Structure 1
């Protein structure tokens, strides 16, 4: 039985596995690091555990939001085109369906004389009408659908507004009720949400980027590795979730699966998110801008942190501007794993570094293909897509396992969660620990140790409608954002209480 489970795990990983990376995509390239409203921090694609007939697509932007950073807080950009691209015929070209989201900011009275964006005059309890008077800066938005060869379709059923930042209990009391008013129905039977949420990605980011100077040994015991609600060795170990207490801006789409399936009922889909800016923008003396109608892509994301930890620094900006289906241009970075080499240098290990066909198959294809690393080039379309089999039943929030197909119990016996990353990606999937093991060669060596950073859950998540370890149970599937007045960051050596 165990052999069959292990075989399933390796097959699924080989077909769908994500990139050898250590974190989500925050400030991953020189240009996008200076453009937070277009910086895609995370991209998720999974089957809904609230309604299994729906699929969820989530794009997060504006990384590392300190909740108290007023007076303007955090808004989407009017001149950024936010897009989610779908490949539903498995040809590694994500042009079958494209969802486009555009925002428009308005300054409402008395914003022409008052210096704050959000004020309790009265407290903000609605996005429009009574209770919205204190929302002096408000963003409306549209969502359209472009199917290949068909006219653009507006999916909105009426005016839609982004939920503002969680300022604090006086200005935005009952924030969860306010956020619920920011969920809008779509013409295709789905829903959309745009607004601030908890930064759900969890990692010892400081230790990771201090040249893998982790606070603990990177090899976890079976018992610690199987526990999805601990910080290993805390507080004495110094391990901490670097993103605890921070927020992001979220665009979440809930789409009926029937709207996404491809030819012959295909439910194995690929997707990526992108942001684009006008090719030409002229800033006038009064601060207004004239923007060209043509857009240029400035960021993209399929699997997490491909650009951050695989692509060489001098190619990062070009990678962001390149379509995801043109990944063969960057093939040498996948075939020769610089991250595996770094692990070997720091820890004295012997993980494979060259001819990594396993990584090419895992990240850039729907299924293993012919070798390409030896030649360094191919005419095949290779694409960095997040791929998901929507026939796989979703796992309820309380039963999800952060390691997905690699999950096991405290004795090391396999207990795979088939709905977890790399079968799509859910907010609680621990891409850090899974990716470390893929870099170390688990696709070809099942005895790879339990590598990890010791951060096993989203620390300190607030609000309701979530599990004790921070997994949201309802759309938009990210917990309530921390408020600006009372937020708390859990630092190294601290406890939750």
Structure 2
């Protein structure tokens, strides 16, 4: 009844919008204030999972908040990858991708840390548009934001010419409410485009699907025990989502013989000399803000996976994570002593019996690919595309016997914060501390995901 009433009365719509903006602004301010008060010693810029380094905190248009990679449940011959950027978007306010940034999704099917395939989004402003109230189609807002955008999607492969998959593609706008962006469901559908040769792409705003247990978040980030409350992020993000046949990603085009791929996303900003410099990187969730020392997080964001093994940073920080000792002290639990071969296997090589690691399972290492060569330790989100889709997914994924769940890729309903906390404390190689977080807490999505591509929910209000 209230929604219908608001729909008929613009002043009520405006009041509702103002109330929502006020509430979300207070929430965002509270989070930020808490981060500032905690100070650098408490990892201030990691007050949430979305700000992983000082650079991304200052420049949120290059901040990759979350990365997902999973077999499409309704099209199991394809893989869906979703990279979310520009976190903490307040409802009814417009946001845009940066026209001076290259947003890339990288695929490594050999384990070398080098991208065999890169999908690159670039954006351009199409000029000052006619306000949506007249065209009843696109967003309208303050003068600084009244710019339509389109995107170009390019497929890059070493030794081959770049392939333009989409040119002048439609970017789904920020949802500004029924007065400014009426019929938003139609705008979402307009932003889902077919790719040549099969597959789909979506570019635009969505509800942030991130969720976790509040106690797990604060233990993992700060080592501070908070009440165990399931919580989501009642704000929006901008999503880059692509669904492609598994044969497109697999080494040699053969997902049966070579089923494992690694995925990471980067953003590179254009400098004054016209060159692009990588300023953001995300593979496994929480890796940078939990395992990499605070002072080195911007450095990690500028690194290529192929350089991880010789960097003196990535392997060493994974084998001996300071945060594990912090959680031990604050939560009264015990973590395994370094060197942490289990964490190295989870994050840097993938699970395999071929390297003699502590996790005796052939799950998601590129070493399982028949034709792979040049393997090295690199941080990336690894997915075994041959793992069957789980009929009843478990939010704790592999830790609860659900081999299709994180860290074998990542689904939208995987509770990665709790899983990463439990792995930091020794699971699944050892007993860990599974009772630290209440397993009965629900999957708490602010908005429910959908059953078809792009799966992410419509923006929240």
- What is the TM-score of this pair, normalised by structure 2? 0.78
Q: Is the 8 A contact 1:432 1:453 kept in 2?
A: no
SS at match of 1:98: strand
| Cα gap change, 1:370 to 1:314, in 2 (>3 Å) | farther
Q: Deviations over 1:158-188 (max 9, x none)?
A: 5311100111122122322210110011113
Q: Deviations over 1:245-272 (max 9, x none)?
A: 2110000011111111114631111111
Residue aligning to 1:402 = 395
Q: Is the 8 A contact 1:92 1:270 kept in 2?
A: no
RMSD: 2.5
Whether 2:114 is the aligned partner of 1:75: answer no
Alignment equivalent of 2:200, drawn from 191, 196, 199: 191
Q: Is the 8 A contact 1:24 1:42 kept in 2?
A: no
**Pairwise mapping of residues 96-175 of structure 1 onto structure 2 (< 5 A)?**
96-110=116-130, 119-124=132-137, 136-156=146-166, 159-175=168-184
C-alpha separation in 2, matches of 1:166 and 1:269: 34
Structure 2: gaps of 5 or more residues:
1-45, 140-144, 358-373
Alignment equivalent of 2:52, drawn from 18, 21, 28: 28
Whether 2:304 is the aligned partner of 1:323: answer yes
Q: Is the 8 A contact 1:326 1:382 kept in 2?
A: no
SS at match of 2:413: coil
C-alpha separation in 2, matches of 1:176 and 1:439: 41
Residue aligning to 1:388 = 383
SS at match of 1:155: strand
C-alpha separation in 2, matches of 1:214 and 1:451: 11
Q: Is the 8 A contact 1:204 1:214 kept in 2?
A: no
Q: Is the 8 A contact 2:399 2:427 kept in 1?
A: no
C-alpha separation in 2, matches of 1:460 and 1:60: 16
Q: Deviations over 1:434-468 (max 9, x none)?
A: 1111111113224642433775323331xxxxxxx
| Cα gap change, 1:144 to 1:151, in 2 (>3 Å) | same
Q: Deviations over 1:96-118 (max 9, x none)?
A: 111111010123344xxxxxxx6
Whether 2:356 is the aligned partner of 1:358: answer no
| Cα gap change, 1:269 to 1:380, in 2 (>3 Å) | closer
| Cα gap change, 1:391 to 1:185, in 2 (>3 Å) | same
Q: Is the 8 A contact 2:334 2:432 kept in 1?
A: no
Residue aligning to 1:313 = 294
C-alpha separation in 2, matches of 1:24 and 1:267: 33
Residue aligning to 1:221 = none
Residue aligning to 1:213 = 225
In the alignment of these two chains, the number of paired residues is: 384
C-alpha separation in 2, matches of 1:339 and 1:109: 49
Alignment equivalent of 2:109, drawn from 88, 91, 100: 88
Alignment equivalent of 1:268, drawn from 260, 264, 267: 260
Alignment equivalent of 2:90, drawn from 58, 66, 71: 66
Cα deviation for residue 23 of structure 1 reads 9.7
Structure 1: gaps of 5 or more residues:
1-21, 111-117, 128-134, 217-238, 282-290, 372-378, 408-415, 462-469, 488-497
Cα deviation for residue 25 of structure 1 reads 4.4
SS at match of 2:224: coil
C-alpha separation in 2, matches of 1:442 and 1:23: 25
Cα deviation for residue 401 of structure 1 reads 1.8
Q: Is the 8 A contact 2:129 2:147 kept in 1?
A: no
User: Relative contact order, CA 8 A, sep 6+: which one is greater?
Assistant: 1
Whether 2:357 is the aligned partner of 1:347: answer no
| Cα gap change, 1:382 to 1:47, in 2 (>3 Å) | same
C-alpha separation in 2, matches of 1:362 and 1:315: 21
Whether 2:63 is the aligned partner of 1:39: answer yes
C-alpha separation in 2, matches of 1:334 and 1:211: 17
C-alpha separation in 2, matches of 1:151 and 1:123: 40
Cα deviation for residue 417 of structure 1 reads 2.5
Q: Is the 8 A contact 2:205 2:238 kept in 1?
A: yes
Alignment equivalent of 1:459, drawn from 423, 445, 452: 445
Q: Is the 8 A contact 1:402 1:428 kept in 2?
A: yes
Q: Deviations over 1:338-396 (max 9, x none)?
A: 2211111102222224211110111100336368xxxxxxx973111111111112235
Residue aligning to 1:254 = 243
